[in-house]
């Protein structure tokens, strides 16, 4: 499974591509940041993010796109931009028929460090270790994007089982399965 992780943001949108399956060593395919100027028009910034993400999708052809789930309880000034950047990422994936998975920051931290309250340095260190990199990727947004991809690879089997269980339950309730 090849996953494009996206840490959405207007100024720095982290992107990272990881290949692997749960229980096997992971491989980093690429990592980077799509940047837009803070003084640019918001519409223009969203367009630049779209173009940047399209390039990553074209080049790396992921099977799924994992995006950080945005919460509104964070800093009110930045959360709107984060929500808008994440909308662009979801749209780019959906347009290609790629599945979109959302993971919360604490799910991502817990997946790669064992603690949902790990700090940036800890996440960066574990990303470097898991992907066998010489140093944590910089900036933190790039490391976070890789962490999202790793989190998805590890959580996907459990999420699939949950989805299958939920689908079975629905069918049982409707009486289509006995």
Mark the binding-site residues, compressed into ranges. 7, 68, 141
Q: Is 141 a catalytic residue?
A: yes
- State the Cα–Cα distance between residues 126 and 56, nearest whole angstrom: 24
- Report if residue 95 touches a second copy, rule: CB under 8 A: yes
Cα 1 to Cα 4, 15, 20, 29, 40: the distances in Å are 10, 16, 5, 12, 36
Binding residues for Mg(2+) are: 7, 68, 141
Candidates 43-51, 103-111, 116-124, 144-152 — which segment interacts with a second copy by CB under 8 A? 43-51
- Report if residue 133 touches a second copy, rule: CB under 8 A: no
The β-bridge relationship of strands 64-68 and 100-103 is: parallel
For a second copy, give the closer residue by CB, 41 or 119: 41
- Report if residue 110 touches a second copy, rule: CB under 8 A: no
Of the candidate residues 32, 35, 91, 133, the single one contacting a second copy (CB under 8 A): 91
Cα 54 to Cα 24, 25, 33, 50: the distances in Å are 29, 27, 13, 6
Question: Which helix (DSSP H) or strand (DSSP E) does residue 15 occupy?
Answer: strand 12-19
- Report if residue 70 touches a second copy, rule: CB under 8 A: yes
Q: Is 44 a catalytic residue?
A: no
- State the Cα–Cα distance between residues 118 and 110, nearest whole angstrom: 8
Which tokens sit at 20?
């692997």
Q: Is 59 a catalytic residue?
A: no
Active site residues: 7, 68, 141
Residue ranges binding a second copy (CB under 8 A): 41-44, 46-47, 50, 70, 72-73, 76-77, 79-80, 83-88, 90-91, 93-95, 100, 102
């Amino acid at each position: 499974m090849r996953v494009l992780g996206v840490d959405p943001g207007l100024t720095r949108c982290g992107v990272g591509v990881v290949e692997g399956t749960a229980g096997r060593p992971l491989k980093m395919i690429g990592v980077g940041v799509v940047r837009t100027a803070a003084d640019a028009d918001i519409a223009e910034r969203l367009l630049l993010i779209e173009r940047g993400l399209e390039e990553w999708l074209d080049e790396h052809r992921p099977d799924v796109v994992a995006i950080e789930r945005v919460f509104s309880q964070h800093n009110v000034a930045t959360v709107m931009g984060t929500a808008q950047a994440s909308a662009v990422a979801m749209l780019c994936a959906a347009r290609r028929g790629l599945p979109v998975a959302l993971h919360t920051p604490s799910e991502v931290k817990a997946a790669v460090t064992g603690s949902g309250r790990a700090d940036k340095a800890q996440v960066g260190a574990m990303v470097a270790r898991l992907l066998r990199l010489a140093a944590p990727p910089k900036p933190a947004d790039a490391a976070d994007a890789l962490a999202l991809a790793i989190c998805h690879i590890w959580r996907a089997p459990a999420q699939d089982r949950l989805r299958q269980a939920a689908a079975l339950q629905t069918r049982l309730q409707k009486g289509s399965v006995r």
